[in-house]
Amino acid sequence: MKTKRKKRQEAEFNRRDFLKGGSLATMMAMLGGVELRAQVPEAKPEEQEPGALVKCGVIGLGARGREIVSTLTRLKEAEISAVCDKYPPFLKRGGNLAPKAKAVGDYRPILDDKEIKAVVIATPTHQHKEIVKDAFQAGKHVYCEAPLAHTIEDARAIAQAARAANRQVFQAGLQMRSDPQRHFLLPFIRAGALGNIAMARAQWHKKQSWRAAAPTPEREREMNWRLRNSSSTGIMGEIGIHQLDMCGLFLNTRPVSVTGFGSLIHWNDGRDVPDTVQTIVEYPGGVRLIYHATLVNSFDSDYEMYYGSDAAVMLRENKAWMFKEVDSPLLGWEVYARKDTFYKETGIALVANATKLAAQGEKPVEEAPFTNTPLYYALEAFITNVNEISTAVEDFSASFNINDKPALEKYLADIRLQPHATWMDGYGATVVAIKANEAVVKGQKITFQKEWFELG
């Protein structure tokens, strides 16, 4: 414990230090990358009482499904009751991650189990539709991985089923929509902190083949659904969907058109999906996103950039930085914020996250506050929302006639939910991704039609 006096001395020191270097700090703030970070919530999640336990089933135990299983095991309010994959080695590996769950080769028993309230669907994209529809039929809450489907028809059928199932939660697996770091940035960017946004750029670079080894030719074919245009939405659909969705969210608009280019450069193993793609996504007002993704090289990994007349913002994993123009207005707080160096764009590390803390003489937080993956936050939101909606339905049913559909919908619409990708978000993003992939495959410009986004 520090004495009050010592604390005060330190605070004095910091303040004096800052005043001394004030103009320099201001200048550096203008040059450097200013880290933008969300405030840590007052009460940490683990200090809060958990709600009711939600029993879940995970369907599809490939790499993504297994990541979902291990993430769910970390959530206090979730219990994995069953895992499912028709491929026994995957079932075994998935089952090992959740030893108490029953392991089944067919998803039917999961839907028939009345104890299981929610299912997470992480099967190959082209198999989503049937499972989602069956799961809604069985009264389950549904989390469905993105893209929702490999065709607009299937995606529409999923969205329609979700819309009709008004007592059940549907969440699309666009996990970045639940990421607190991005929710912190959203009002910041939407409020115009970047000035006039001129353009955006995003990338995803990773050297990996996407091909999975299998013991038989049939199994090989089934496992490598991503490598065939007939069942795959390619890099744009499987990866790009997340970054394109975020760009639309930050710019608060839907794209006008997409132009695509794709090549098979390196992984010439009989696949017909490109391993390297570039797309130009145009938004209203002439703002364009340049997106490139490749399975050939991993340099510089993945991030998104927004360029405005006052500043640029870089989003990278759970961090973000702002790079201000010299003639941009001084916001004030950026002077105190921590700085990082990006090649010639140098910043100065004053005191991390010091706006309030320095004034209070407290030790600043060094590490990023949100260290969980976006998937963690997305599944946490899903489980919380399942609890919220199911208790709201129960309470409504105990109070009024549950068959009064308009009144129930009105009541449920007022229930405060954790940020998540709704069926509408999921459908819109899937349409954009499918068309972006089509543009890549055909090497064309595709103009988005309003009716593609309509559910009918």
Partner 1 sequence: MAAAVFCGAVMVDAAETLRFEGRPGSKVKIDGTSTVHDWTVESQLLSGFMEFDAGFAKDPAAAAKSAKAEVTIMVRSLKSGKSGMDKVMQEAMKMPQHPKIEYKLLQLTPKSGGAEGTSAQFDATGALTVAGVTRTNTMPVTIEKVGETKAKVSGATNLKMTDFGIKPPSPAFLPIKTGDDVKIAFQWQTEQVAAAAAKTAETK
Helix 423-442 with 241-251: angle, nearest 10 deg: 120
Q: For residues 158 and 386, which CB has a smaller minimum distance to partner 1 in the complex?
A: 386
The pair of structure tokens assigned to 447 is 């103009």
Minimal CA–CA distance to 141: which of 160, 175, 166? 166
Binding residue (CB under 8 A) for partner 1 from 366, 367, 414, 451: 414
Residue 29-58 contact track with partner 1, rule CB under 8 A, x = bound: -------------xx---xxx---------
User: Where does this chain touch partner 1 (CB under 8 A) — which range of 92-100, 117-125, 157-165, 402-410?
Assistant: 402-410
Among 1, 191, 326, 398, binds partner 1 (CB under 8 A): 398
Would you mind telling me the total number of residues written for the chain in this entry?
Answer: 456
Contact 120, 57 (CB under 8 A): yes
**Range in contact with partner 1 (rule: CB under 8 A) among 181-189, 206-214, 406-414, 428-436:** 406-414
**Which one, of 179, 196, 181, lies nearest residue 312 by Cα?**
196
Q: Which window, 5-13, 201-209, 286-294, 384-392, contacts partner 1 (CB under 8 A)? A: 384-392
State the chain's maximal CA–CA distance in angstroms. 74
| Number of DSSP helices (H) and strands (E) in the chain, helices first | 15, 16
Compare residues 198 and 417 and give the one whose CB is closer to partner 1. 417
Give the span between the Cα atoms of 392 and 318, in whole angstroms. Answer: 33
Query: Which CB, 402 or 424, lies closer to partner 1?
Result: 402
What are 358's two structure tokens? 């320095």
Query: What distance in Å separates the CA atoms of residue 140 and residue 61, rounded to the nearest whole number?
Result: 19
Nearer to partner 1, 153 or 395 (CB): 395
> By CB under 8 A, what part of segment 185-204 binds partner 1?
none
Q: Which is nearer to partner 1, 100 or 416 (CB)?
A: 416
Closer residue to partner 1, CB minimum distance, 66 or 420: 420
- Min dist. Cβ of residue 377 to partner 1 (A): 15
185, amino acid identity:
L
Kindly tell me which of 16 and 410 has the beta carbon lying closer to partner 1: 410
**C-beta of 188 vs 411, nearer to partner 1:** 411
Interface with partner 1 (CB under 8 A), residue from 407, 442, 443, 454: 407
CA 387, 176, 72: angle at the middle one, nearest 5? 45
The residue within the footprint of partner 1, chosen from 12, 106, 220, 404 (CB under 8 A), is 404
Question: Per rule CB under 8 A, is residue 396 in the interface with partner 1?
Answer: yes
Sheet-wide strand order for 54-59: 102-104, 78-84, 54-59, 118-121, 141-145, 170-173
Check residue 395 for interaction with partner 1 (CB under 8 A). yes
Q: From CA 180, how far away is CA 41, in angstroms rounded?
A: 10
Kindly state the number of chain residues that form the binding site for partner 1, as judged by CB under 8 A. Answer: 21
Dihedral of the CA atoms 145, 151, 152, 158 (nearest 10)? -40
Question: Residues interacting with partner 1, by CB under 8 A?
Answer: 42-43, 47-49, 384, 391-392, 395-396, 398-400, 404, 407-408, 410-411, 414-416
